[in-house]
Amino acid sequence: MSDGLFPLPRDRAELSPGAWHVPDWLSLDEQRELVVAAREWAAPPAGMRHVVMPSGGVMSVRSVSLGLYWEPYRYLDRLPDGTAVKAFPAVLGELAARAVRDVYGPTSLPDDAYDIGLVNFYDARARMGLHRDADEASLAPVVSLSIGDACVFRFGNTETRTRPWTDIELRGGDLVVFGGPSRLAYHGVPKTLPGTGDPRTGLAAGRLNITIRASGRR
Ligand SMILES: O=C(O)CCC(=O)C(=O)O
């Protein structure tokens, strides 16, 4: 996407204590490689699907779990129908470790702490309500990568689904990391901005989000 003749630099920003937005963190090559990989992850068996909430509501985002299978509100070793979950790819562990070092500096977190990938695909109508990532036994920072269409990313507080919150525009290539006092903050995606993605990533439409987490089982 372009800001016109004079692209404005976007600065790294702390959304709340311990939560950082790092614009343009992934190179175009890395985005391309992740799009190719995501197509494989999305394919059956154990491929991309709409998650059904306990209320019966169906999430508009389509997701695929890697490493462990997430369903609200727990992680399973296998899918509910017994199918094996796809393995957690080394590339996601490496990206997460690099992101954490980049944002917080040297850390005592083992490089292999990360073991869960949740890959979300948003079509033009998809969104994600405010929620907390609270099903992990580990409080290692959550690492979130965006590719494709921009979106409005809402980062709230740890107490309630209501204000105060901060809305930012997340674009393809951006990184968000939230740990420390913000690890359990509510966050969500009220809308995407269709048609804003860079087709050179290989993603012709929509938004891909890859969230990398540590289960605490390692
Ligand atoms: O799509 C995003 O940027 C956020 C995804 C998310 O919050 C989640 O998977 O829990």
Determine the atom of ligand 1 nearest the C-alpha atom of 187. Answer: 7
Which pLDDT belongs to residue 9? Answer: 83
* 9 assigned to some structural domain: no
* 118 assigned to some structural domain: yes
52-62 tens-digit pLDDT: 999 999 999 99
Ligand 1: residue whose CA is nearest its atom 6: 188
Q: How many domains does the chain have?
A: 1
* 97 assigned to some structural domain: yes
* 17 assigned to some structural domain: no
Determine the atom of ligand 1 nearest the C-alpha atom of 176. Answer: 3
* 178 assigned to some structural domain: yes
Determine the atom of ligand 1 nearest the C-alpha atom of 153. Answer: 3
* 14 assigned to some structural domain: no
* 116 assigned to some structural domain: yes
* 11 assigned to some structural domain: no
Question: Best mutation site among 61, 189, 192, 208 for ligand 1, i.e. most ligand atoms within 8 A of its Cβ?
Answer: 189
Is the C-beta atom of 48 inside 6 A of ligand 1?
Answer: no
Question: Domain containing 199 — which CATH number?
Answer: 2.60.120.590
**Digits of tens for pLDDT over the chain (218 positions)?**
555 677 778 999 999 999 999 999 999 999 999 999 999 999 999 999 999 999 999 999 999 999 999 999 999 999 999 999 999 999 999 999 999 999 999 999 997 999 999 999 999 999 999 999 999 999 999 999 999 999 999 999 999 999 999 999 999 999 999 999 999 999 999 999 999 999 999 999 999 999 999 999 98
Determine the atom of ligand 1 nearest the C-alpha atom of 207. Answer: 1
Is the C-beta atom of 187 inside 6 A of ligand 1?
Answer: yes
- Residue 209 Cα to ligand 1 midpoint, Å, equals 7
CA distance 50 to 54: 13
Q: Check: pTM over 0.85? Answer yes or no.
A: yes
6-52 tens-digit pLDDT: 777 899 999 999 999 999 999 999 999 999 999 999 999 999 999 99
- Residue 7 Cα to ligand 1 midpoint, Å, equals 27
Structural domain including 54 reads 26-213
- Residue 117 Cα to ligand 1 midpoint, Å, equals 11
Question: Best mutation site among 154, 187, 192 for ligand 1, i.e. most ligand atoms within 8 A of its Cβ?
Answer: 187
